[in-house]
Structure 1
Amino acid sequence: MLLWINGPFGGGKTQTAHNLARRLPGAVVCDPEHLGFGLHRMLPPALRGDFQDLAAWRTGTVEMLDLAARRHPGPLIVPMTVTDPAYFAETVGRLRELGHDVRHFTLLADRATVLRRLAEREPVHHLRRLARLPAPPHGQSFAVRRLDDCLHRLADPAFATHLRTDRLTVTQVADRIAELAGLRPAPDTDTVLRATLRRAGVKIRHLRAG
């Protein structure tokens, strides 16, 4: 089974994916963003737009996930924002055509909720700026710039199943996805401190520079 977790940038996809992977036996996180960043590094900076516009990313994502799904016995968890219906068909749709059991979920929240979550990334951006590493100007990240468009597009029924996350914890969102997919994760026994440290680690490892 392949669990594709969609949603706006900063909507909690990656945190939810890692929470699920930690509690589902044999589950692994397969993040197509890594392929996109690799393609970016092959291009001069001036040519680095949205990597989803590259056919190589769409076909490569399908190829890698097809390989993983055929050879890995446990669930694959894919945290990836896809808002273009054509690109959705070329990735999620194509994987289904290849015979994979793809369960798709879109995490949605009010604009203010997502902005609050994105603001939690600012300390890391600030440290990157101090270290003269790539980082967006304050409040002008890629995620913020794309937020309104993402929320509008992803509300379309084509991107169901929709899950509202405004009043849910990461664990509650993960549990709901597992329930809808017919999976039974182990209980989340993390203390508040341990959960906070886990989320911070995931956030730092996956924070994009733009």
Structure 2
Amino acid sequence: MIVWLNGTHGAGKTTTSALVQQLIPNSRVFDAEKVGETLMDITPGLPATDNFQHWPPWRPLVVETARRILDFTGGTLVMPMTVLVEQYWREISSGLAQHAIAVRHFVLHADQDTLRKRIAGDTVLGPNSPFRLQYLEPYAEAARTWLHTAGEVVETTHLTPAQAALQIAEALKRCEEQPAGVKPRR
């Protein structure tokens, strides 16, 4: 199984993913951004883009890498990765489905003011990273048009990462407890 944590920068994906991993037995964190970093290291470089997700190889490589990891380790992969283009999400989720890999897609959401404050106070990537700020409006648009219906929204505005992780782990546990054929509530 894959537990995909989506949402824009500042929503808490990276921090929450490490905490979710601690709550799910036999799980590992796999950041699909590493696949993008590998593509960025190709010399000479691939065609110029502002986001490695636009390179057509990225999506199938994420699927194949996740599949191979799960084939090797079993268990659950927790994947923190922002995907705001609906077509890209469909490519990834249908690719995983073709390999019979179950995906629970969670969207970590916080209001715009909270996101801006988190980005401004980031001590890891630095405050007010222009790269991170430029995704606030595309995230808002994706949330309005498709993203919040494609995943289970976890409102993180007033949650700590530990509380968000616990909420996700509890949602996963409830799903496991459902009788076969019963779809869990969102």
Which of 163, 169, 184 is the matching residue for 2:160?
169
CA RMSD of aligned residues (A): 2.1
C-alpha deviation, 1:110, in angstroms: 0.4
Q: How is 1:85-164 mapped onto 2 (pairs within 5 angstroms)?
A: 85-121=86-122, 125=126, 139-155=128-144, 156=146, 157-164=148-155
Q: How many residues align?
A: 171
Contact 2:23 2:166 in 1 (8 A): no
C-alpha deviation, 1:105, in angstroms: 0.5
In structure 1, runs of 5+ residues without a counterpart are 126-137, 184-210
The residue matched to 1:47 in structure 2 has which SS? coil
Stretch moving more, 13-22 or 45-54 = 45-54
1:124 to 1:75, Cα distance in 2 relative to 1, 3 A: closer
TM-score norm. by structure 1 comes to: 0.74
Q: Which amino acid aligns with 1:3?
A: V
In structure 2, runs of 5+ residues without a counterpart are 175-186
Contact 1:6 1:104 in 2 (8 A): yes
Q: Which amino acid aligns with 1:174?
A: A
Residue aligning to 1:69: 70
Contact 2:110 2:156 in 1 (8 A): yes
Q: How many Å separate the matches in 2 of 1:6 and 1:140?
A: 19
* Higher helix proportion (structure 1 or 2): 1
Q: What's the CA shift string for 1:131-150, capped at 9, x where partnerless?
A: xxxxxxx7352110111111
Residue aligning to 1:193: none
TM-score norm. by structure 2 comes to: 0.83
Stretch moving more, 55-64 or 40-49 = 40-49
